[in-house]
Amino acid sequence: MVNTPNPFTDVATGERRDQELVQMAKGGSRAALEELIVRHQAWIYNLALRMAHRPEDAKDAAQEVLIKLFTRLSTFEGRSSLRTWLYRIVINHLLNMKRSRAESREIAFAEYGQALDDTPDAEFPDPQVVPADAQLLIKEARIGCTSGMLLCLDRGQRMVFILGSIFGVSDAVGAELLELSRDNFRQRLARARRDLRNFMQDKCGLVNTANPCRCAKKTRGFIKAGHIDPGNLRFARERVTHVRDVAARVSDEITGLDEAYAEIYRGHPFQNPPDFTTRLKELMNRSELRSTLELD
């Protein structure tokens, strides 16, 4: 994982360097623009991944956002932090983008729970039968299933939950990025936590061990249904950086079951992003986009 500064701390890490890179990029430096992209592409991609669920859709969304960064950078006047300016673009794009394939229709928690109930239980996968390590398959099932639960939240709730509970932003930063009052941000976050907690407390066995739903029991069913491809895992890796490793939680308001369920998501991988710089270099060579920043 590339060591990129966390833009979601109360005082955005690396803001001074970002401002320097913006000025150099506006002066025509390709190298500065590329560095700026590298510094933020992982955060943008991981935010998109939790909104869109499928890595393919997250890649498309993140690339679209980075193109907006490229084409609009000349309008940044420095009256706000780059973090505020950039991540408002990111958030507005993700809230208003075309529905991803995983979002092809709205899914209610009741419907998602029924789908889990309808997935037959089976014994622990036999590693001799499938080409991936059995523990990785179960991890894939856990991450995929809990990520899918986020899709039961509407986009506004999902964004607030990702920022507040997964990426650990304070109410001050969350309110700034979503252009809300701090009270409103806290209220929306509380509702999103409540809805997700109520479902998981009733259905999921990861925290409430009284629940019968277990990732290991559902893995074979997920494979049979096509939700998991043993030869092409989307989420699980042998060596990963977790969200909690790069996004320290700054709010101490989350307690009890909310904390327990949030930690499930903070234990999800913080994924390495695709290499967006190659595609953007191609765009830089187009005359109509070169003129945007007068790149050298």
Q: How confident is the model over 213-226, as pLDDT tens digits?
A: 989 999 999 999 99
How many residues can be counted in the chain?
A: 296
- The vertex-106 CA angle with 139 and 194, nearest 5°, equals 65
pTM of the model: 0.90
- The residues spanned by each domain of the chain are 15-293
Is there a contact between 203 and 116 (Cβ–Cβ < 8 Å)?
Answer: yes
Q: What is the pLDDT of residue 70?
A: 84
3-state secondary structure of 204: strand
- Residues 129-182 pLDDT 10s: 666 688 899 999 999 999 999 999 999 999 999 999 999 999 999 999 999 999
Give the span between the Cα atoms of 264 and 20, in whole angstroms: 37
Helix (H, G, I), strand (E, B) or coil at 53: coil
pLDDT score at 227: 93
DSSP state of 73: G
